[in-house]
Amino acid sequence: MSPPVTSRQAGFPQLVLLLVGSCMPVLGAVLLSPVLPRMSQHFATTPGADVLVPVILTIPALFIALGAPFAGAIADRFDRKRLLIVTMVAYSIFGTAPLYLDSIQAILISRMLVGICEAAIMTCCTTLIADYWSGPRRIRYLGLQTLVTTIAATVFFALGGLLGADGWRTPFWLYGAAALAAIPMGIFLWQPAVARHETRQPWPWRIMAVPSLVTVGGGVVFYTLIVQLAFVLDGVGVTDTAAIGGITALMSLATAAGAGLFAKVATHGAKVLLVVEFVLSGLGLLLIFATEAVPVIVVGSVLTGFATGLLLPTLVTWAVNRLPFAQRGRGTGLWTAALFLGEFLSPLLVSALTAATGGLGTSLAIIGVATLVLAGLVATLLAVPTSPLNTVPAE
């Protein structure tokens, strides 16, 4: 297998641009949360609006899951850089479309297209990070990717609330930032070249099967408290939005801390890290279930947030480190699809469990137990490498 051939060395400008691109799917996921009530009021006379308005927020995640493998195939077959720039511009066009669309059905279609663009953006950014750097730098920058996107989620949530004060359409203007970012991407990024005798490789199904399955579970766990923590707090009498926002921000800070720690603990194998991360996540969810005391709920949410912040870079590094250049786009696309499938399924799973058990706390307990079971499977039955993550070769 021939490694990529390039005389150019990636540095700070390339890293910043790829991290900015990685924040785009986060923008789509959290920006609109604060304005959903206003959107519901605007479309109150539209049949089915009570179901369709929340779907406006969640539908991009489904289309990221559906579109990421295809985006990865295009990236491998043609050009990572061009696909990234084209989809960044398209993302701005489709993302700002609700500024002038009056039909909720048309807005839903625009959100589907946003999800497809996000699939390509996330896949290309992660693939290019793995292309441009190897060894300890790759480990550090994949951890930084999770750290930056976690911080961005908090910032975008706050911006959505501030801009939403002027009307539910106003936050959609922020999608225009992607087109601006595409300009320096066109200047400073490049498509890694490969040796001329390089041949196209098949889909890396065997390499990606176990990482993708585990990542679906990781996506469910990661997204559970992001969506449900406000409802948990409301159920124990915390109704002040500032208090809820403060506790949510504290959980986000813990997630960022976990992501920031990843480079230092990558000397351990994926098996050790995943077991620890899933155990801590499960215990945090069970702690929240077991109490109505707000301080204990905060401890449980911080514990889960920290563990999931460490979990995401572990999963992506485990997945992409073993992929050769010619398969890296498709492999990264499969991993991205698995992550966002888990995130899309998370609220549906919690809703189904809540309907079946009659309580949100019980639903979180079931997911917590399932997370502990997943930790046991990783430790015993699943083929997870034990070699240090930061010593796996680039190719």
By the 8 A CB rule, do 86 and 62 touch?
A: no
Q: Confidence class of residue 370 from pLDDT cuts 50, 70 and 90?
A: very high
Is the pLDDT reported for residue 394 higher than 60?
Answer: no
State which CATH number among 2.160.20.10, 3.40.50.970, 1.20.1250.20, 2.120.10.30 fits the domain covering 8-193: 1.20.1250.20
Domain 205-391 has CATH 1.20.1250.20: yes
Beta partners for residue 269, in sequence order:
388
pLDDT of res. 160: 80
pLDDT of res. 342: 92
pLDDT of res. 379: 93
Q: Confidence class of residue 277 from pLDDT cuts 50, 70 and 90?
A: very high
Q: Confidence class of residue 98 from pLDDT cuts 50, 70 and 90?
A: very high
- Is the fold of 8-193 the same as that of 205-391? yes
More confident of the two residues 34 and 188: 188
Mean pLDDT, the chain, whole residue set: 88
Residue of 232, 176, 225, 192 lying closest to 360 (CA atoms): 232
By the 8 A CB rule, do 23 and 152 touch?
A: yes
More confident of the two residues 252 and 30: 252
- Cα distance between residue 293 and residue 288, in whole Å: 9
Question: What is the number of residues in the chain?
Answer: 395
Is the pLDDT reported for residue 269 higher than 70?
Answer: yes
The arithmetic mean of pLDDT across residues 243-271, rounded, is 87
Q: Confidence class of residue 392 from pLDDT cuts 50, 70 and 90?
A: low
Question: Of all residues in the chain, what percent carry a pLDDT higher than 70?
Answer: 95
Task: Tell me 160's DSSP state.
Answer: H
Domain map of the chain by residue range? 8-193, 205-391
pLDDT of res. 2: 42
The arithmetic mean of pLDDT across residues 207-220, rounded, is 94
DSSP helix/strand/coil, 4: strand
326-337 pLDDT, tens digit per residue, is 889 999 999 999
pLDDT of res. 20: 96
Is the pLDDT reported for residue 339 higher than 60?
Answer: yes
The arithmetic mean of pLDDT across residues 11-27, rounded, is 92
Is the pLDDT reported for residue 178 higher than 50?
Answer: yes
- Cα distance between residue 71 and residue 64, in whole Å: 10
Is the pLDDT reported for residue 3 higher than 60?
Answer: no
Sign for the pseudo-dihedral over CA of 213, 54, 348, 364: positive
348-360 pLDDT, tens digit per residue, is 898 899 989 988 8
The arithmetic mean of pLDDT across residues 38-48, rounded, is 84
304-334 pLDDT, tens digit per residue, is 999 999 999 999 999 988 888 888 999 999 9
Is the pLDDT reported for residue 298 higher than 70?
Answer: yes
